[in-house]
Amino acid sequence: MSEKSACACGAGPTLIFACSGAADVGAIADQAARKLTKDGVGKMYCTAGIGGRVPGIMATTQSAARILAIDGCPLNCAKSSLDQAGFKTYEHLQLADLGLAKGQTPPSPEAIAKVAAAGAAKLAC
């Protein structure tokens, strides 16, 4: 499991890695990360770049003060990508824990707002 990160506001970027999968909950995770970025909570960053071990993306992620992984379904691809790349300290948000089920949750503004609010709460100092 991921560990709670100590708040280090201002020490580095706050990065948000989202599932952007093909399922409805993947779309919600993606749009919630974009909303968090628009709202100034953090910056959506490239989950595929972590999976591909892209040097610049890895370096920026290593310098992050806080990291949030948002996963649409219980496969936890965003979390797994961070884990396999060696990142241990980050917050994790699983949409099923919010009652949003794969294949049963249209990507509505209400669902996106619910996930964004939960993500912001996990990143709050």
CA angle 49, 57, 47 (to 5 degrees): 35
Residue 1 inside a domain? The answer is no
Is residue 4 situated within a structural domain? no
Domain count, the chain: 1
pLDDT value of position 3: 37
Higher pLDDT, 8 or 36: 36
- pLDDT digits 0-9 by tens, 42-87: 999 999 999 999 999 999 999 999 999 999 999 999 999 999 999 9
Please indicate, yes or no, if residue 26 is contained in any of the structural domains. yes
Kindly report the CATH number assigned to the domain that includes residue 56: 3.40.50
Question: Containing domain of residue 86, as a range?
Answer: 14-123
Residues 6+ apart with CB under 8 A from 86: none
6 assigned to some structural domain: no
Instruction: Examine residue 8 and state whether it is found in any structural domain, yes or no.
Output: no
In a domain, 119, yes or no: yes
Q: Is residue 9 part of a domain?
A: no
**Which class for 12: exposed (0-12), middle (13-18), buried (19 or more C-beta within 10 A)?**
middle
Q: Is residue 44 part of a domain?
A: yes
